[in-house]
Amino acid sequence: MLPKVPRETLLDLCRRMFIIRHFEESLVPLHEKGVFAGHYHLYIGQEATGVPALACLQADDYLFTTHRNHGHLLARGADPKRLCAEILGRSDGYNKGKGGSFHTVVPSLGFLHTSAVVAGIIPLAIGTAYASKALKNGRVTVCLFGDGALEEGAAPESLNLASLRKLPVLFLCENNGKYGAGRAAGAAQSPSMAVYPLTDLPRAYKIPTQQVDGADAGAVHALVSETVEKIRRGDGPSFIEAQTVRWPGSETNWPSVLQPTHSALAWDVSVVPEKVREWYRACDPVLIFVRELIEAKQATREEIAEIESKVKAEIAAAVNSAVASPYPPPEDAAKDYFA
Amino acid sequence: MREVAYYEAKFEALHEIMAADDRVHLIGGTFLSLSPRRHLYQELARKYSDRMMSPPISELGFCGLATGAAMAGLRPIVDISTGSFIFEAWPQVCNEAANAFYMSAGQTRVPVVFHLFHGLRGGGGAQHSASPQAMLWNNPGLEIVLPSSPRDVKGLLKSAVASDNPTVFVDHVQLLEVRGEVAESEPPIPFGVAEIKRQGRDVTVVATSYMVQRCLQVADKLAEEGIEVEVVDPRTLVPFDTATLLSSIEKTRRVVIVDETHQSCGVAAEIAARIAETSFDKLKAPIRRVSTLDVPVPYSPPLEEYIGPREDRIIEAIRAVLAAR
């Protein structure tokens, strides 16, 4: 379903989903051509969680994200040029090339620190929440992580502390392993986590939990806005598990775009290679959102195509600008290691 | 000037810090380890309980909590208590707090203090006697402070809280009852300024933490024989005051380094390397280290004493460097 927000907001959410999708799809050929180094992780397939969830927050709220951060930063309004430049290790990047894909921060948007250790941010998120409570500034912290983060000890220690101190923090776990191994047999979610459902873990620490279909933008928006409101008024922490179906392009260690996205796929997937067609037909959250907009007569196909084509031009320009950005002077590596 | 015990000076500092700045929160232990002086912590708690937190036994969780709180405007001081327990918090201290400022290109500051008691404490055994400062020195992004006297603990704690960087405050339980001169309005002691704790012309002894006190006693003994030992206390490892140390060596031309970390890749090893790289030609004798032997810390008192930088080993090392011509 669609979020219950004005039409302009719906179209803006659609635009942000396209920004994420086309940004991420643009990175893959750059990496294949060797334009940037190292490993990286994409947010494709989770757009309908991050975009509506982050739309529920205030400008001064804190957010923490992980190695899979591009989508969260873009959903919150980060500049694709500077994000791309950071991923490419260039001086125009948000962290002047010192962070990279794993560690991009945008303090003005509430992202103070991005950890590539899967549960690294969870103790930090209860820390900003502790500070907000002590300073009585009404800020909520949203901690965005994947299902794998719950496998590290930092997670249960932090859940316990957050519950004991009634800290204003939302743990938003994006489980992109729906239909993963073992699930069909009614067994554990994955071969590496005995807790199932994942919400049993926070529940053991007396933290209220909810599950939501992460491809359902309206359900995510309704649940996160209601939950954040409760947290802001002092009810203590909450935990939401958003379930998404893993994008087939991420099945290997290195992402690959088997089918470039365009909005017409929302009503015709015949061009999609057969082995990934089902995901684009039934699971792609961006295409689901597009279909819902059209069915609800909030936008025409032409309007959607126009939004998408503007986004594609914006992303192409951002990528070009990032590629043209110089590398930082090597000697900067030895500077600015202390305040 | 008045004389007070180390634990009193430390708590004077905590009272002044808490009174001066609402952003300071105390998280963790009592800053006294197992000392019977716990009433001092209770006095603090009577005044500032809303800014003091006694967390569950979750070093990883509460060190991360303090780090995140520091990012968001507080200035937390965490008492990890026994130094060995920082290993439970290693990912948050070494991989998050230490990296945040650098990898954000200076956008995110982390003014947190991690306080711990290191070293041989008497019966601590292998899991309660660690001196993690050498490992921490090998992890860029942390300031490392090692007080050795009542005045230093007061002045350095004030600077640690004022610092915008993550700071590890490495304390020692054997120092708690040491007495010394401390002004009531003791000013902050800046980081990176070594102190010559005793002047001497014959040999430079570089010592840290509790070893400063032991070396001062050794110096008194050797003075009876006419050997004048100069005791140099770096006070902070990061930043490190190389200049004071080298000017002492230029005078004495002989150096012994006494430190309680294990010998291999220890604090003394790094200090020795720095001296050798810059002042090899000034030295009349090879640099000597007196460190803890490279074995886990045993429990039994004579075994524990045997592995540490014992007085007899310090004296032997000093005599050896003096014997070289």
pLDDT tens profile B107-166: 999 999 999 999 999 999 999 999 999 999 999 999 999 999 999 999 999 999 999 999
Decide if A48 touches B, using CB distance below 8 A. no
Which one of A112, A127, A164 has the shortest CB-CB distance to B64? A127
pLDDT of residue A187: 44
Q: Where are the beta strands (DSSP E) in chain B?
A: 3-5, 26-28, 52-53, 77-82, 113-117, 143-145, 167-171, 179-181, 195-198, 203-207, 229-233, 236-238, 255-262, 288-292
Question: Which pLDDT belongs to residue A178?
Answer: 63
The pLDDT value recorded for residue A253 is: 74
The answer to whether A69 and A114 have CB atoms below 8 angstroms apart is yes
Question: Measured between alpha carbons, how far is B204 from B153 in angstroms, rounded to an integer?
Answer: 23
DSSP tag of A334: G
A85 touches chain B (CB under 8 A): no
How far off is chain A from B167, nearest CA to CA, in Å? 11
Which tokens is A7 given?
A: 């039409």
pLDDT at A140: 98
Please tell me if residue A334 touches chain B, with a CB cutoff of 8 Å: no
CB contact under 8 A, B96 and A337: no
Segments in chain B below pLDDT 50: none
Task: Check the CA dihedral B303-B137-A119-A31 and report its sign.
Answer: negative
**Are the C-beta atoms of B18 and B24 separated by less than 8 Å?**
yes
Average pLDDT over chain B reads 97
Predicted pLDDT at A190: 66
Which helix (DSSP H) or strand (DSSP E) does residue A213 occupy?
strand A209-213
Contact list in B for residue A130 (CB cut-off 8 A) is 65, 68-69, 74
Q: What sign has the CA pseudo-torsion A25, A31, A35, A37? A: positive
> What do you get for the CA distance between the two ends of chain A, in Å?
48
Q: Which residues contact B81 (CB under 8 A, 6 or more apart)?
A: B28, B29, B30, B33, B116, B117
pLDDT at B7: 98
Judged by a CB distance cut-off of 8 A, whether residue A209 touches chain B is no
Torsion of CA A213, A214, A217, A223, to 10 degrees: 70
Q: Smallest Cβ distance to A120: which of B96, B102, B165?
A: B96
Task: Give me the residues of A, 160-199, that contact B with CB < 8 A.
Answer: 160-161, 164-165
What chain B residue is nearest to A133 in terms of C-alpha separation?
A: B69
Would you call B102 and A337 a contact, using CB atoms and an 8 Å cutoff?
yes
Tokens of A91: 């001086």
Radius of gyration of chain B (CA): 19
Q: How far apart are CA B173 and CA B187, in angstroms?
A: 23
**What percent of chain B has pLDDT above 70?**
100
pLDDT < 50 regions, chain A: 180-188
Interface touch A99/B106, C-beta < 8 Å: no
Q: Which residue, chain included where needed, has tokens 């202390």?
A: A338
Q: In chain B, what residues touch A164 (CB-CB under 8 Å)?
A: 56
Instruction: Please give the Cα distance from A93 to B173 (Å, whole number).
Output: 47
Inter-chain CB proximity B107 and A95 less than 8 Å: yes
Amino acid A145: pLDDT: 97
Asked if A165's CB is within 8 angstroms of B61's CB, the reply is no
pLDDT at position A189, please?
Answer: 54
Q: Is A281 on the interface with B (CB under 8 A)?
A: no
- Catalytic residues of B, by residue number, are 59, 128
A108, β-bridge pairs: none
On whether any CB of chain B is under 8 Å from the CB of A140, the answer is no
Mark yes or no for CB contact A125/B104 under 8 Å: no
Nearest CA in chain A to B164: A339
Q: Which residues in chain B are contacts of A127 at CB distance < 8 A?
A: 64-72
